[in-house]
Chain A
Amino acid sequence: MGKPSINPDAEAGHSLWSDAWTRLRRNRAAMCGLAFLGFIILLCFIVPFFPALPDPAAQSLPNKNSGPSLSHWMGTDHLGRDLFSRILHGGRISILVGLITTTVSLTIGVAVGAMAGYLGGKVDAFLMRTVDVLYSLPFLIIVILFSALAKGYTNDFTDWLVDLTGLNRDAIAPFTSLIPLFVAIGALSWLNISRIVRASVQDLAGREFVEAAKSLGLSQQRILLRHIIPNAIGPIVVYATLTIPSVMLFEATLSFLGMGVQPPYSSWGILIKDGADRMLSNPLLLIFPSIFFILTLLSLNFLGDGLRDALDPKSAKD
């Protein structure tokens, strides 16, 4: 603050988020969560580029179900594939699925919920009945339908991306083939968020400070974006941290049905599922991926908790 700024919105945004960051840094649990999350992401996105890491798809039947060793840090699976390498490669997909679909569902959910809650009346009735209808349809069937419809467009998109950037088609295929999944899950998992946001916006819209903002001549858009939504950030953040793991697991279900990640590619959800099937013969196949998954979720929860506190100015201890 104090510096002259051209855009007051930027200045206000600066104060809200930079204050939140200051408060977040004092929260040890949240910072541990953030650090660990950063570590996992780095691990998954950088280490696979080192040639020393075995190819996650290379099979070696003589080596199957071997325990941890120097050449296979976390052992091998029933086809002799290196588990560590598979976890890191699978982590990329799981993290991407978690973050992208959650972002999509947050964006849609907050927008719909805020409009319904703030505008009320017919807009509210229309949007909320739409949500009700989508709720009543079987989630899985819609997602399957969605991915089937999107598949054709995805291939076109991949071609376009290859033409545009000159990337190796095989390198980006595991990610672009997931686009229908992102879109499908994201486009449907916003239902809960929209209801939560609508409820808090309705509550907030009746508060006196909103009335005061109106009486000062602020536009509806400004009131909604600067005064109402920031006040609803607590439940949004908490719900987002809950959405990420459920989306990651849902991806595993879809992959199992052949809609998501296809072999030889993998994800944490798939590894855990495979591991659970072979729990008795080789429990390590379940334990190692689960450790990664659980630690990621734990750190996400700590971070989300801390973020909620940090965004609330009243929780500041100074």
Chain B
Amino acid sequence: MRALLDIQDLKVHFHTRDGVVKAVDGVSLKVEAGQIAGIVGESGSGKSVTAYSLLGLIPMPPGRIEGGKALFQGTDLLRLGERELNTYRGRKISMIFQDPMTSLNPYLRVSTQLVEPLAIHEKLRGKPALHRAIEALEQVGIENAATRIHGYPHEFSGGMRQRVMIAMALITKPDLLIADEPTTALDVTVQKQVLDVIRELQRETGTAVIFITHDLAVVHEMCDTVSVLYAGRVVESAPAAELIRRPLHAYTRGLYRSNPSAHAKDEDLYSIPGLPPDLARLPGGCTFRPRNTLGVASLCLTERQPELIEHSPGHFVQNCPGCLAAHPSSAHA
């Protein structure tokens, strides 16, 4: 069966004064209909740029899509003009953003903003549209939706606003929802509720989700498959259950070791040393080599870039011998 979304070798570069920043440099991933696909990585690993490029939200210039395809139901989204993209945006693909405090227009009532996608994509207006909007708010668990819908965004708390965003994104029943770190800006107590809302609605509507996060714990709660991004490339990609059982790449192992919830009380929490590389001056070869302390850095590729290979069925990993090797002193890991 054809995947709902098939990103092949996507390259998005930013041409800045400091040189060409290779924010996304050959990302491939697939999203099956009705599944939740996680994208994990540090800040600047290219998670959000990947998602933004699907909807044509990369500012150009300085951004430029240098290559690759993003086949959505067989159509390459990267080749679409603004007008054609607008028939996908908000109708077949919707997005929720990181910071719910700023992603609603402070000058318009929530009701006005909620019915906007309906007016554009379904030509639904007036009372029927308002009813749909109230329904959508009820679905995301907002009480007294019929009165609250007439409020302004500043009358809602952060968690409530993110619910409003989710309602707005799903009101047209899209086939794909892109969630760009939807809980990062929220209180921990609210995070769980918002995640539950997303998962519940996903099950109900069968919408596929691209879930972008840097929180591995969240990934395992939410996702069916996970792609780990580092320096604009996929270093490892596998079904979520497989990845937690058998992380192969040194970076993925590092991410798990540095996760407080999965670590034993008596040992020090691991942290990956150093900083993500400067994307304008990427070293040749394996980009993770300078920070590789869980593998054998001396074995890392220096001449050519490692490639993604299928290590076992469904489990892809970059074939860099240094990153795949186990560290000599941590044979038990």
Give the interface of A toward B (CB within 8 A). Answer: 1-8, 11-12, 15-16, 121, 207-209, 211-220, 222, 226-227, 230-231, 233, 311-314, 316
Closest to B149 in A: A1
- Candidate in A5, A215, A233, A311 with the most chain B CB atoms within 10 angstroms: A215
Q: How far is the CB of A216 from chain B (nearest CB, A)?
A: 4
Pairwise interchain contact B86-A217, C-beta atoms closer than 8 A: yes
Checking A3, A219, A227, A233 against B86 with a beta-carbon cut-off of 8 angstroms, the contacting residue is A219
Pairwise interchain contact A208-B102, C-beta atoms closer than 8 A: yes
B121 to chain A: which residues have CB within 8 Å? 217
- Cβ of B109 < 8 Å from any Cβ of A? yes
Give the interface of B toward A (CB within 8 A). Answer: 55, 57, 61, 82, 85-91, 94-95, 97-99, 102-109, 111-112, 115-117, 119-121, 125-130, 150, 152, 154, 165, 168-169
Docked complex Cα distance between A1 and B95 (Å)? 28
A227 to chain B: which residues have CB within 8 Å? 105, 107-108
Docked complex Cα distance between A152 and B29 (Å)? 69
B111 to chain A: which residues have CB within 8 Å? 1
Q: How far is the CB of A223 from chain B (nearest CB, A)?
A: 10
Pairwise interchain contact B154-A314, C-beta atoms closer than 8 A: yes
Pairwise interchain contact A5-B125, C-beta atoms closer than 8 A: yes
Checking B82, B109, B165 against A15 with a beta-carbon cut-off of 8 angstroms, the contacting residue is B109
A231 to chain B: which residues have CB within 8 Å? 105-107
Given contacts A4-B126, A212-B165, A231-B107, contact A15 B57 (CB under 8 A): no
Pairwise interchain contact B104-A217, C-beta atoms closer than 8 A: no
B108 to chain A: which residues have CB within 8 Å? 12, 15-16, 226-227, 230
Docked complex Cα distance between A314 and B154 (Å)? 7
26 contacts between A and B (CB under 8 A): A1-B109, A2-B130, A4-B126, A5-B125, A8-B115, A15-B108, A121-B61, A208-B97, A208-B103, A209-B103, A211-B57, A212-B97, A212-B165, A215-B89, A216-B116, A218-B120, A220-B82, A227-B108, A231-B105, A231-B106, A231-B107, A233-B107, A311-B107, A314-B152, A314-B154, A316-B152
Docked complex Cα distance between A287 and B86 (Å)? 61
Docked complex Cα distance between A2 and B134 (Å)? 12
Pairwise interchain contact B102-A214, C-beta atoms closer than 8 A: no
A219 to chain B: which residues have CB within 8 Å? 86
Checking A1, A4, A8, A211 against B119 with a beta-carbon cut-off of 8 angstroms, the contacting residue is A8
Given contacts A209-B102, A216-B117, A216-B120, contact A313 B154 (CB under 8 A): yes
Pairwise interchain contact B107-A215, C-beta atoms closer than 8 A: no
Checking A1, A15, A215 against B55 with a beta-carbon cut-off of 8 angstroms, the contacting residue is A215
Closest to B168 in A: A216
Pairwise interchain contact B97-A217, C-beta atoms closer than 8 A: no
**Which A-B residue pairs are the 4 nearest by beta carbons?**
A216-B90, A217-B89, A4-B126, A217-B90
Q: What is the interface of chain A mostly: helix, strand, loop, or mixed? A: helix
Closest to B104 in A: A209
Q: How far is the CB of A222 from chain B (nearest CB, A)?
A: 8
Q: Give the total number of A-B pairs whose CB atoms are below 8 A apart.
A: 110
Closest to A233 in B: B107
Docked complex Cα distance between A116 and B91 (Å)? 30
- Candidate in B61, B126, B165 with the most chain A CB atoms within 10 angstroms: B126
Pairwise interchain contact B103-A211, C-beta atoms closer than 8 A: yes
Docked complex Cα distance between A121 and B111 (Å)? 34
Docked complex Cα distance between A222 and B152 (Å)? 20
A7 to chain B: which residues have CB within 8 Å? 125
A220 to chain B: which residues have CB within 8 Å? 82
B127 to chain A: which residues have CB within 8 Å? 2-4
Q: How far is the CB of B48 from chain A (nearest CB, A)?
A: 11
Pairwise interchain contact A217-B88, C-beta atoms closer than 8 A: yes
- Candidate in A5, A214, A227, A311 with the most chain B CB atoms within 10 angstroms: A214
Docked complex Cα distance between A231 and B111 (Å)? 17
Pairwise interchain contact A208-B99, C-beta atoms closer than 8 A: yes
Q: How far is the CB of A14 from chain B (nearest CB, A)?
A: 10
Q: How far is the CB of B134 from chain A (nearest CB, A)?
A: 11
Q: How far is the CB of A109 from chain B (nearest CB, A)?
A: 20
Docked complex Cα distance between A212 and B128 (Å)? 23
Q: How far is the CB of A257 from chain B (nearest CB, A)?
A: 43
Pairwise interchain contact B57-A214, C-beta atoms closer than 8 A: yes
Docked complex Cα distance between A230 and B108 (Å)? 9
Closest to B61 in A: A121
Given contacts A2-B130, A15-B112, contact A212 B103 (CB under 8 A): yes
Docked complex Cα distance between A15 and B86 (Å)? 26
Given contacts A11-B112, A15-B109, A217-B89, contact A212 B120 (CB under 8 A): no
Docked complex Cα distance between A3 and B150 (Å)? 13
- Candidate in B61, B97, B107 with the most chain A CB atoms within 10 angstroms: B107
Pairwise interchain contact B107-A230, C-beta atoms closer than 8 A: yes
B109 to chain A: which residues have CB within 8 Å? 1, 15
